[in-house]
Amino acid sequence: MNIILASTSVSRKKILEKFLIPFECVAPNCDETPLMNESAPELVLRLSQIKAQSVAQQYPHHLVIGSDQVGVLDGQIIGKPHTIEKAIEQLHNSSGKTVDFYTGLCVIHRHSQQITTICEPFKVKFRTLSCAEIESYVVKELPLQCAGSFKCDELGITLFDKLEGDDINTLVGLPLIKLNKIMINMGFNPLLLS
């Protein structure tokens, strides 16, 4: 079975490697601009599906996995900071607050005409962080391509008071427990693939 992760994210690649199955990464070709009045769950559902579909068109006999993630702080969608200054700003704004993260997942197998799309929530309660802690963290880890400006599977774990969700992998960017269930339902059990 040929499996493709429709992503160039190093974090998502590391997560999918936990299944110990062969797969390749292919960059999706899509516009990630949010639509007017689009909620965070609607955005990640739409983008994960667009990413998976853009790759599935090129690989109709492969199982294609697409994912997208955003956070919501004080009613505003936050994404990847891209710059050190923006990362510091995001963490200052998150300090002492709870941020809701939404991770979209879409799995497509065009050959059997199967498609499943879900949205997984995850809550992060940040500690009250000092300016020195925030700046030190951002310089050490450079979480510039991470929604919310942290890498929870690395040093970013030191920023939190509490995490609430079914699967820590969801917060990293790929809900592995749900992905496993979807793949099994589609006839591709990771434990039985080689």
Catalytic residues, by residue number, are 68
- Residue pair 117/45 in contact by the 8 Å Cβ criterion: yes
* φ/ψ (deg, to 5) at 54: -65, -35
CA–CA dist 12, 147 (Å, integer): 13
Task: Count Cβ atoms below 10 Å from residue 58 Cβ, excluding itself.
Answer: 12
Tell me how far apart the 2 most distant CA atoms of the chain are, in Å.
53
Task: Count Cβ atoms below 10 Å from residue 166 Cβ, excluding itself.
Answer: 12
What's the start-to-end Cα distance of the chain, in Å? 8
* φ/ψ (deg, to 5) at 134: -65, -50
